[in-house]
Every structure is written in C-alpha cells, then in structure tokens.
Amino acid sequence: MVGLAMMTMACGSGNNAATTTENNSDQTAPPAMTFSADSAYSYVKQQCDMGPRVPGTPAHERCAQWLTASLRQWCDTVVVQQAPVTTFDGKQLNCKNIVGTFNPQASDRLLVLAHWDCRPWADNDPDPSLRQQPVMGANDAASGTAVILELAHLMAQQRPEVGVDLLLVDVEDWGENENEDSWALGTQYWANNPHVAGYRANCGILLDMVGTRGARFTQEYFSKQYAQGVIDMVWKTASQSGFGSYFINQDGGAITDDHVMVNRLAGIPTIDIIDMRLDSDTGFFDGWHTTHDTLDQIDPATLRAVGQTLVNLIYNW
C-alpha cells in the first residue's frame, strides 16, 4: 500500500484532470488544445508508405531519418541513441531510439513512448504461406508513433508547463513468446542507458496498438500492479474528455510490453494503453502479427480518443 500511495502522489501532483471530479462518468471538458486525428492518420500512412519498418532494412532507415527530422522541427531537443543489440536468433542489429524533449529544465516530467519498428514475420497470419512475410505494422506500431508525432506538433505550437519526453523505441517486436527478455530490446537499452544521465519522470505512458476501429482500452494487469495511480489519472481524464466508451474501467489481461521494462529497469511507474481483446483467439485485434495489419485497420476516431486524452492530461497537469 505504501508503494501504491507513493505512485499516486508522484503522478497526481498538480494534475487538475485527476482531481476535479469524484466519479468516472463522461463529463466532456473543453480541450486545452485540439488533437488532429486527420494529421495523426497521415503520419500512420506516411510510415506505411515506406513499407514494413523491419530493423536492418532500407525502409527502417528511411523511417528513422523521417522521425528524427520530424521531431527536430518541433521539440526543444532531440537525441538519437544508436546501439548494437543481439536478437534471440543471433541477429546483430543497429537499434535506434529517438527521444524528443519539451521543457528539458522542468522537474515534473511525463514520459510518453511507443515502439516504431515492425515485426519481421507475420507468424500469426491465417495463411501459412505468408508467415515469413514482414508485418506492415499500421496499428502495431505506426499508430502509437503517429499519436506521438501529433503530440509533438501540437506542443510546438503551445508549450505545456510540464516537461514531456517523447520516446520512440526500436527493436521491440523481434522476439519469441517463450523468452520474455527477447522483446523490447530498444526499451531495455534505454532503461539501462537513459538519454539523460540520472533521468527521472513522474510517470510514463506507453501507446501500443491504439488505432483500430472498435478499440477498447481495458486496464492492463502489470500497469495496475506498478502504477495504479497513473491508470486512475488517465482513465479519469479520458472519461472527463468524453472518451469513456474507449477507456473501460475493467481489468484487462497481462502483457510483457515495453512498460514492464521501464518499470523494472528504470523504476518509472508506467502504464500501457493497449487494445487487448479477451474474446479473440490471440487477445488482440484480428490483424495482429499478420500481413493484414495495414492502413485499412486504422480508424481516426480511435487515434483521436487516445490523442485528445493525452493532450488534456498534459495541458491540465
């Protein structure tokens, strides 16, 4: 109970959205800034137009350059971490984590992260002949990356008071199910070698698969274990912003995602906003780890629900 109370205080400090109401009913609040779903959708499309961003491919390198240039237009500082990593199957890859920062001198900080690489194999494809094809990754992970880009675009127009660090991590999806540590290699590297020595944030929010139609964000198990206070803050903000039909006050499943590495290795209470579907065979949307994770999976309304919730959270900190 002591750890939970400390997490709640660390991430509730100064946050009006987390404290202005005692119930969780939808109460539409005027947005501090308007998140453009069309702009976010265009960022998903631009990533997909490059092809699957599988580490070690030309599409991956083109995307890294584009992401870096985009963040440099908007952020106060941008750091590109490059590091060799070894995958579970012995591949040596050049990992590129890209970090864009607003208000680097602010002591109160929010970390928002997503992975930007694509899975090398569509191993869940219903057609066995396609399971060695790369995944386009429109939802997993272009959607979270696109929301982060639009957040950066907005914050460049009006700086928030809180410090915000936008972390795009690499080599997340080159893993095998039997080996927990084979996933999130870029996040593991960043957590052990942060872009700023001694980096701390009040809390973190991971965006993973946040673009499909019909998405419902239940409260992921490890997020609740490590950062119940952050869950409460984000879900309440979503409800107050009119997106309670997307952010469901219901326990979800457990997933070892980037947020687990941030919690365990960096000690930053971090949650996962992720579309998990307990009524599906895989636990995720139909296109997960298939050749069907393409642009037609993306619904701008879902991007808006996630993006506007984060905008309202940031500007009411």
CATH assignment at residue 238: 3.40.630.10
- What mean pLDDT do residues 162-181 have? 96
- What mean pLDDT do residues 279-307 have? 96
Confidence label for 30 from pLDDT (cuts 50, 70 and 90):
low
Indicate if the pLDDT at residue 208 is higher than 80. Answer: yes
Indicate if the pLDDT at residue 146 is higher than 80. Answer: yes
d(CA 261, CA 53): 22
Number of domains in the chain: 1
Indicate if the pLDDT at residue 6 is higher than 50. Answer: no
Indicate if the pLDDT at residue 166 is higher than 70. Answer: yes
* Mean pLDDT, the chain, integer: 91
pLDDT of residue 178: 87
pTM above 0.75, yes or no: yes
pLDDT of residue 31: 59
Host domain of residue 145: 2-315
Confidence label for 294 from pLDDT (cuts 50, 70 and 90):
very high
Confidence label for 13 from pLDDT (cuts 50, 70 and 90):
very low
pLDDT of residue 18: 33
pLDDT of residue 29: 52
